[in-house]
Structure formats: structure tokens, C-alpha cells
Structure 1
């Protein structure tokens, strides 16, 4: 079963964080069709948010066809986002763990590691915001 967490510093609405976590778990194969999501009450208590926020996230996931409510029973995964490349994830995960160990050994903290990874990812995918200054020559 998925265990939700919230990052108050992320700037992302709590209900969207819950949705993103379910989607990520589906992509990674950690949640599969038929798995039960935690109850609204349990999620609200664990991450200290209003139950309506959890309901909003679950309704959006239902609208997307990823979950289905069964009254009196719970909310269950009814769709998937995983692909055939799941078998390729483990070697990449191991390589990433080695990289994280090197980053920690170099003295980088969690926020610095995350910033370095996101910067490299965005630069590679062309989504890095331009931060340099423009120069002109005569």
C-alpha cells in the first residue's frame, strides 16, 4: 500500500502532490490494478490535511480512470501508467543509487542533490530556464 507524504516547501497543492505520488507509483509498478488506496480518513490523519483535500485527489484520479470507488469497501487502482520498460528500471535504479552515494560522499545535502539532479535533467531535456545574461559585441 502507498504511504503518502507532503512537502510544504514544494509550492505544489497538497491534492496534486497526492495525485503525483499515485501516478509515480503506477509508472514504477509499485501500484497495480486491484491495489487498494488508503482510506481518506487514514491519509488525512497521516499527512495532517483536510479529508476534503484527499477526496479531491481521489476524485481526480477517478476522473482520469486510474482508480475506482467501491462504496463501503474502498478506493482501488483500476488503471495503469506503467509500460513494458519496467524490467529496465532496476539497473538504472542501482546506477542512480551509486550516484547518490557519491554525491553524499562529496558532502552534498539532500536539497543540493535534488537541485543538481533537476538542473542536469532539465538541461538534458531542454526545460532548463535560461539564467545567463545576454551579451552583445560591437
Structure 2
């Protein structure tokens, strides 16, 4: 997988990396057990501070999405935990709703977008 960062973006670089890994795991682009680049390797490739990559990896590890193996590297977790953080999801949903409001998107269209996203990401209802 190839990572990209935009130093001029409002989103901090470490968060850009976190989001890219999360998206790649969710889409299957990164598979359980797949090795990620080392901190030094990724920092060099992206021309960023190694501490930035280390911070992103620490967040992903705390969320259960990656595992660091002493002397062996960093890997996508065999069974990613996907720890639920509803506060973060609510905040992101609010940001989405603000954007939808300013673009004058109606409720029906919003529901259709949500349904399409649920299908695209294969998110099923839990009984």
C-alpha cells in the first residue's frame, strides 16, 4: 500500500496516516497479518518526522488495528478490534451534517447516501 500526506491540509499528518490505514483495513486493501512499513521507512518515504509516523502507529495500536512485534515490525492485527468510539463518530457525523446543510442536501438524499455507504462497506445490522 502506498501512503500519501498533504502537509497543507487542515488535518494533521499523523491523523491522515491513521485515517488511511483505517480505510485500507476496512476496504480489505490491507489484510490481517500484513506488514506495514517501519517508522523510519515510512517517514523517509513521505519526508516527514519519524515521530509523526510513531504517533499514528501508537493511535492505531491503542485502537487495536495494528500490532507491533518486538524486532519483527508492525503488522495489521490478525483480528482488528475496531474499538467503538461513539463520540468520534458523532463528531464526524455532525461535520458531515454541517456540510450537507450548506449544500442544501435534503433528508431523502442523505438517507440514500447512508444506505449506499452501508452497502458499499458491507455493514450489516446486528440483532
TM-score, normalised to structure 2, is 0.63
The answer to whether 1:60 aligns with 2:59 is: yes
Listed as ranges, the matches of 1:23-102 within 5 Å are 23-78=22-77, 79=80
Output the CA distance in 1 between the equivalents of 2:25 and 2:45: 21
Unaligned runs of at least 5 residues, structure 1: 82-121, 133-138
Q: Partner of 1:75: helix, strand, or coil?
A: strand
How far does residue 27 in structure 1 lie from its aligned partner after superposition?
1.3
Deviations 1:4-30 (A, max 9, x none): 110123211000000000011011100
Change (3 A) 1:80 1:5: farther
RMSD: 2.1
How far does residue 129 in structure 1 lie from its aligned partner after superposition?
4.2
Q: Partner of 2:71: helix, strand, or coil?
A: coil
Unaligned runs of at least 5 residues, structure 2: 83-95, 105-127
Verify the 8 A CA contact 1:18 1:57 in the aligned structure 2. Answer: yes
Q: Partner of 1:68: helix, strand, or coil?
A: strand
User: Number of residue pairs matched?
Assistant: 89
Verify the 8 A CA contact 1:26 1:80 in the aligned structure 2. Answer: no
Output the CA distance in 1 between the equivalents of 2:48 and 2:101: 33
Q: Which residue of 1 aligns with 2:102?
A: 130
TM-score, normalised to structure 1, is 0.58
Bigger Rg, structure 1 or 2: 1
How far does residue 130 in structure 1 lie from its aligned partner after superposition?
2.7
How far does residue 80 in structure 1 lie from its aligned partner after superposition?
6.6
